[in-house]
Structure 1
Amino acid sequence: MKSNRKVEENFLWDQIMKKHFSIAWTFPKLLVSSVLLISIICIFYNLSFSNASNPSNHRSNIINTLHVVDQAMPPPVSSPPKLGPPEKTTLHHLVFGIAASARLWEHRKNYIKLWWKSQEMRGTVWLDKAVANRISRIVSETLRLGFEDVRWFVMGDDDTYFVPENLVRVLSKYDHNQLYYIGSLSESHLQNIHFSYGMAYGGGGFAISYPLAKALAKMQDRCIQRYPGLYGSDDRIHACMAELGIPLTKEPGFHQYDVYGSLLGLLSAHPVAPLISIHHLDVVEPIFPNVNRVQALQRLRVPIKLDSAAIMQQSVCYDKTRSWTISVSWGYTVQIYRGIFSVRELEMPDRTFLNWYKRADYTGFSFNTRPVARHACQKPFVFYLSNALYNKNTNQTASEYVQDRLPSSECKWNMANPSRIERVQVYKKPDPHLWDKAPRRNCCRVLPRKKKGTMAIDVRVCGDDDVIELQ
């Protein structure tokens, strides 16, 4: 996987967290070809992470129960989905396979604690040792663990943050009885050229339906032997998918994030699609300033709990009296620009990041971007989420965003100065069925001022006649 390209593949198993886990050592069969000899030792255990408010308070515990699976014993195979009237897909129908670095596990497990729901979710963390196929083999091995009532196998990395509710929303659109391979690409044009524009990048996560996992398990060992020269495990999965005739179904909410620097530009102009995953957490800067990476992700849990469907969704509106343009990335940031900017321009990510080869070359991205403003008067005023709450009487969320810092140079334009705004309050009704309809950007409007130094904004579903324009 591209997630750990620069992390060594040979790991030693350390200690594993949390009591009541089930551990086994499995020894898959040796895969021998004229070019490559691969011996895999996968160490796995059932995930049972808690969602305590302070991840730093968690302590790892040595597991006192060890189950050894005899290599000679036939492995169990998960049962097919139950027959009968179809029921709605839930987190219970998903099984996660997380590829983890044993050397980095004590650190990276804190990312997983933030999104794992121990009472609703099932899965395994695989700590690789010796030369390993890693996630390509995990698909088949997870299938053989015998989980009941499985519809989807979801693969990811230990430095990937998932939004489980949105993952379920996306997978619910597809018939899990069919053969589906769902994921997304790299943000790096060169990465996609080198590997494939038709491959699901594993760090951003991808999902394989149960029938496809069964078909893959039958032929994967033979398939892997045919591609000894492929570098990544997600590359090998893609090769096997090609032999099965299954194309990638692209969902833009899976984010590989093969970039360096700040994700502000990418997250504040998120595509009109549910946010599913954020990868390379150890590579990019914390998504909120003045906190570490875990603390930054911890702050996202509040808006995700209130309105997971809307997290990071961009709305654009205008303050007509002051000729300002406001871009709201709900649950993350509000940005105020002097002057009038079109939605077409603001929906392109601001280049606050470098590409995977650490070049400031906009042609290296596989999507449109816009340059960071250099003129003092054109730089946005950025307000980051500080808190959010829900008012059950009005069925409305109220989220507050506080100004990060002022632009360094003083603007001499003869127009209203956004520096006088200290905080922005955004009001919005949760809409859990937002993605049950055709995708459409939410609308917003600036509310009359009630308090000095504060701007109030209403975000809502656009009406039939709504157009995002300055009248």
Structure 2
Amino acid sequence: MKDQENFLCHLNMKTSTTLSRLMFSLLLLIAVPYLFYSINSLKILRSPPNPSPLPLSLPVTLPVHLNVSTSEPLLENPKTLHENTTLHHIVFGIGASSKLWDHRKNYIKLWWRPDEMRGIVWLDEHVKKDPDDDNLLPPIMISSNTSDFPYKNPKGHRSAIRISRIISETLKLGMKDVRWFVMGDDDTVFVADNLVRVLSKYDHNQYYYIGSSSESHLQNIYFSYGMAYGGGGFAISYPLAKELARMQDRCIKRYPELYGSDDRIQACMAELGVPLTREPGFHQYDVYGNLYGLLAAHPIAPLVSLHHLDLVEPIFPDMDRIQSLQKLKVPMQLDSAGLMQQSICYDQTRQWTISVSWGYTVQIFRGIIPPREIEKPARTFLNWYPKAGYKAFAFNTRSLSKNSCQRPSIYCLADAVYTGNNKNGTVSMYVGPNISNPDCKWKISNPSQIVKVEVYKRPDPYFWNKAPRRNCCRILPTKKKRTLVIDVGECQKDEVIEIR
């Protein structure tokens, strides 16, 4: 019995010793890192408040938009990030109607370049093909059946569902090397080179939804100021198009009460959290009447698209709509970057204000009028809701003067040619309608003495890579009778066309 007690006592002492050693080891494991951490903390606290910059040899994380070499790919498609965007990288999806196809296909022929562009015309039904059109138009496909989708808007048409799915259906064709999908209607005319200029500003690897609003404030209220209008055209980057295609059918079913295709696209963009990136060169043209006032005072931005051309008057007098647009193709091919860009200058001797919308028109006003007035479009057009009047436009306008002496002498494009001269690359000619302005009691020369305006301009394809600024124009001396000669181009350093 005593031996057993001695054994148990010895066992307890041995166990106690072992536990003590374990406790000591555990405390040591905890104490050593804590001591190390405390020493480092003291070093940090004692470091100077403004430490010197990191040496250049240390690895630094840089933004993905910088042109740097890394061992890991920063983006899904890093090889194409810094290559220039071209027409080849853009795929067009054009919404069309079989009932209007015979007429509206002529609008597409004006801007389509078969050897440079890719895209599909999506129709609701098969149409009779003209063999002569094979090399002048994009391929035609029939949209998928959308009868299973609900549509409850009493004023609209369920074709809106079909058209809203064009981007997704085009994506599923599996075209390679695509950066942008661009949506348009069969009565939309694109200025392709300017479209490339606009899209080149953006990283196609990111989510972008690019377009513009309506000219009608009420249209934007009824639909959304955050919606891109498909008639004016809009662009969706490739990765965003992939996300849209994954969820669009479910998204469309959630909005059966919406009116058109554009608001269905925007509803899905809202669910994806992607806002509209505005580019003022996309033009829906929800107006009636004459576009002259809008085109003569185009915003300082590349002209990308024109829409609703069947609903407005031809843009040139004494021509039909197609002929007018064909005439516009001449300056478009010579200098698309400068097309419709407004310049304002002053003839101080004769007290004239001169507005040049390059490639389209020249206006001569009696008197010296501030640029902030000339920049406003003259109301040669009516609102989409005519009863709403001019107060329902989504931008500032100016009225047409009732005083004939205050109305401008108008000169429209007659021709434009390339001179081969580096100083003045193009010369465009503008002629008036041979209508004499009335003599006024003002001591100001009558602009009707001018029958022709010549505008010299050097094309600047990199104009839109700089900060936006209206081109300068200068009145040049000439011995040509009844001719006004103007030089238009980038403003020189410190050059200002000042009102005096």
TM tier relative to shorter chain: 0.7 to 0.9
Please tell me the residue identity of whatever aligns with 1:372.
Answer: L
Task: Give the partner amino acid of 2:107.
Answer: Y
Kept after mapping to 1: 8 A contact 2:437/2:447: no
Cα shift at 1:146:
1.3
Aligned residues: 392
Say if 2:437 and 2:448, in contact at 8 Å, map to a contact too: no
Higher helix share: 2
Structure-1-length-normalised TM-score:
0.81
> Which position in structure 2 is the counterpart of 1:285?
313
Aligned-partner Cα distance in 1 for 2:283–2:185: 12
* Pairing 1:151–2:179 present: yes
Residues 428 and 454, structure 2, Cα contact 8 Å, conserved in 1: yes
- In structure 1, how many angstroms separate the alpha carbons of the residues matched to 2:474 and 2:123? 49
Question: Normalising to structure 2: TM-score of the pair?
Answer: 0.76
Q: In the TM superposition, what whole-angstrom CA distance separates every residue of 1:195-248 from its partner, at most 9, and x where no partner exists?
A: 000000110000000000000000000000000000010000000000000000
Shift of 1:449: 2.6
Question: After the TM superposition, which segments of 4 or more aligned residues of structure 1 sit over 6 Å from their partners?
Answer: none
Structure with larger Rg: 2
- CA 1:82–1:149: 2 relative to 1, 3 Å: farther
For the residues of structure 1 that align with 2:288 and 2:102, how far apart are their CA atoms?
Answer: 23
The answer for the alignment partner of 2:452 in structure 1 is 423
Query: 1:115: which partner in 2?
Result: 111
Cα gap change, 1:305 to 1:120, in 2 (>3 Å):
same
Name the counterpart of 2:71: none
Percentage of pairs with the same residue: 68
Counterparts in 2 of 1:381 and 1:87: CA distance versus 1, 3 Å = same
- The unaligned stretches of length 5 or more in structure 2 are 1-75, 126-146, 148-157
Determine helix, strand or coil for the equivalent of 1:344. Answer: helix
Compared CA separation, residues 157 and 388, structure 1 to 2 (3 A): same
Aligned-partner SS, 1:260: strand
- Look up the equivalent residue of 2:99 and give its one-letter code: R
CA positional deviation for 1:82: 7.5
Q: 2:469 aligns with which of 440, 453, 456?
A: 440
Could you tell me which residue of structure 2 aligns to residue 72 of structure 1?
none
Question: Is the Cα–Cα contact under 8 Å of residues 478 and 485 in structure 2 kept in the other structure?
Answer: yes
1:394, CA displacement in angstroms?
3.5
Counterpart of 1:134 in 2: which secondary structure? helix
Is the contact made by 1:135 and 1:155 (CA closer than 8 Å) also made in structure 2?
no
Residue number among 351, 359, 362 corresponding to 1:334 in the alignment: 362
Matched, 1:142 2:170: yes
Match of 1:164 in 2: 192
Partners in 2 of 1:264 and 1:359 — Cα distance? 21
1:344 aligns with 2:372: yes
Other-structure match for 1:233: 261
CA RMSD of superposed structures (Å): 1.5
Q: Would the aligned equivalents of 1:81 and 1:151 in 2 still touch at CA under 8 Å?
A: no
Q: Is the 8 A contact 1:315 1:327 kept in 2?
A: yes
The Cα of 1:465 is off from its aligned counterpart by 1.3
Q: Distance in 1 between matches of 2:124 and 2:274?
A: 27
Higher fraction of strand: 1
Partners of 1:252 and 1:353 in 2: how far apart? Answer: 18
- 3-state SS, counterpart of residue 449 of structure 1: coil
| Mapped contact 1:270–1:314 kept (Cα < 8 A) | yes
In structure 1, the residue matched to 2:338 is 310
Deviations 1:114-161 (A, max 9, x none): 111111000000112584313311010000011110000000001111
Change beyond 3 A, Cα 1:285–1:380 = same
1:103 aligns with 2:71: no
> Using a 3 Å threshold, how does the CA distance of structure 1 residues 261 and 85 change in structure 2: closer, same or farther?
closer
1:57 aligned residue: none
Question: What secondary structure is seen at the aligned counterpart in 1 of 2:499?
Answer: coil
Q: Secondary structure at the match of 1:359?
A: helix
CA contact (8 A) 1:204 1:278 kept: yes
Kindly provide the amino acid, as one letter, of the partner of residue 446 in structure 1: I
Letter in 2 for 1:330: W
Question: 273, 276, 295: which one pairs with 2:301?
Answer: 273
Is the partner of 2:387 in helix, strand or coil? coil
- Describe the shift of the 1:462–1:137 C-alpha distance in structure 2 as closer, same or farther (beyond 3 A): same
Q: Which residue type is aligned with residue 423 of structure 1? A: K
State how far apart, in whole Å, the 2-side matches of 1:85 and 1:205 are.
Answer: 24
Q: Which residue of 2 aligns with 1:90?
A: 86
Structure 1 segment 40-119 matched on structure 2, within 5 A: 83=79, 86-119=82-115
Q: How far does residue 81 in structure 1 lie from its aligned partner after superposition? A: 5.4
Mapped partners of 1:118, 1:82: distance in 2: 28
Shift of 1:85: 5.9
Name the SS for the 1:337 alignment partner: strand
